[in-house]
Structure 1
Amino acid sequence: MEPSNDVALDIIITNVVAVFRTRCHLNLRTIALEGVNVIFKPEYGVRFSEFKVVNVLAVCSMPFAIRLIDFTKNNRPIASYEPELHPAATYRIKTLKATVQVFSTGSLTITGPNVQAVATAVEHIYPMLLECQKPLRK
């Protein structure tokens, strides 16, 4: 039976980095030394502006394992794999400013500038991963 391209994959956002202006002075030393669980309470007049998400980290698992050497050979120079240095192949999508780490287990770690870039990166790489899936052992 041929695998379908219409597969629903769960992309789990694990970390988001954002920047913003507080429009007031913050004593970072005091916050770092005395803060335990810091809670933002807007009723006390602390305002922020220019909020921007700058990086999103997500994970996703393919429903199959992957032959990393084949994946890398098929997608050079965009894909690179150096097993002596790291167990994953790296696939960089410059147009999305996204990077996908592909593990032989089918697990992916995706970084990008926003959630949409991460989701688009997974959609982009899925057909390439499908071509390099490991056959199921019987």
Structure 2
Amino acid sequence: MADQGLEGSQPVDLQKHPSGIVPTLQNIVSTVNLDCKLDLKTIALQARNAEYNPKASFIYLLIREPKTTALIFASGKMVCTGAKSEQQSKLAARKYARIIQKLGFPAKFKDFKIQNIVGSCDVKFPIRLEGLAYSHGAFSSYEPELFPGLIYRMKQPKIVLLIFVSGKIVLTGAKAPVTTPIVDGGIFDGTTAPAMAMVARDGDVEHEGYRLVIFRAEAKRKWRRQGC
């Protein structure tokens, strides 16, 4: 069974995504060890799209495809950010390593690792943050005078969600191994953040191992009956 997802025009398989919502990946942060010492000033003078501040301990490198930014340190450590998928992040990191190699440094490509995955979604209805904080106080932090969103720390999968009254949700802190699908059936499988947001308006939610599973149509019917 498929339905129209809220995050785009592609149909959503409701068997895989009971909520009907599939978060969109916004940023992948990865790290690589180039395994050699680097002269940042030399790289800044010879590489294209390089930015270097002598007061900083790193240099910026940018490439257009995939559109990413790398922070490269004199120690040979590199951080790659801006990719929209794990594959893009790895491809970009390899391109940066080749750039360094072409500048005469014996750079290698070691210890590639995804450090953070950031995603977002919109459940398309207002969320009662006070109710969510009350019913899930062990996992929630809500201080509207300091930050407008509710911070929800899931145990499994171990991710942090920033939930806003507008219905917008940001997911961060995920670290998916290469063998784990990131969206379909994996960390962001549509039964975590969106379903958790629905708890704020609907009390009849099944909680299994910190994974909140709810069906969108049923939630809407109860929402109307309660007159909320």
Give the TM-score, by structure 1 length.
0.75
Query: Would the aligned equivalents of 1:10 and 1:61 in 2 still touch at CA under 8 Å?
Result: no
Once residues 6 and 40 of structure 1 are traced to their aligned partners in structure 2, the CA distance between those partners, rounded to angstroms, is 40
C-alpha deviation, 1:47, in angstroms: 2.7
SS in structure 2 of the partner of residue 119 of structure 1:
coil
C-alpha deviation, 1:36, in angstroms: 6.0
SS in structure 2 of the partner of residue 123 of structure 1:
coil
SS in structure 1 of the partner of residue 192 of structure 2:
helix
Q: Match of 1:119? A: 188
C-alpha deviation, 1:9, in angstroms: 1.8
1:51 aligns with 2:112: yes
Once residues 119 and 26 of structure 2 are traced to their aligned partners in structure 1, the CA distance between those partners, rounded to angstroms, is 5
Once residues 40 and 117 of structure 2 are traced to their aligned partners in structure 1, the CA distance between those partners, rounded to angstroms, is 24
Aligned residues: 133
* Structure possessing the higher relative contact order (Cα contacts under 8 Å, 6 or more residues apart): 1
SS in structure 1 of the partner of residue 27 of structure 2:
strand
Moved more, 71-80 or 28-37: 28-37
Moved more, 25-34 or 71-80: 25-34
Query: Would the aligned equivalents of 1:11 and 1:119 in 2 still touch at CA under 8 Å?
Result: yes
Moved more, 6-15 or 128-137: 128-137
Identify, as 1 or 2, the structure richer in helix.
1
Correspondence list, 1:1-138, <5 A: 6-29=18-41, 30-31=43-44, 32-33=51-52, 37=62, 40=96, 42=98, 44=102, 46-115=107-176, 116=182, 118-119=187-188, 123-133=191-201
Letter in 2 for 1:96: P
Q: Which runs of 5+ in 2 are unaligned?
A: 1-13, 45-50, 53-58, 64-94, 177-181, 203-222
Query: Would the aligned equivalents of 1:111 and 1:118 in 2 still touch at CA under 8 Å?
Result: no
Letter in 2 for 1:102: I
Q: CA RMSD in A?
A: 3.1
Query: Would the aligned equivalents of 1:56 and 1:118 in 2 still touch at CA under 8 Å?
Result: no
C-alpha deviation, 1:21, in angstroms: 1.0
Query: Would the aligned equivalents of 2:169 and 2:193 in 1 still touch at CA under 8 Å?
Result: no
Q: Which runs of 5+ in 1 are unaligned?
A: none
C-alpha deviation, 1:14, in angstroms: 1.8
Residues 53 and 90 of structure 1: is their aligned pair in 2 closer, same or farther, counting only changes over 3 Å?
same
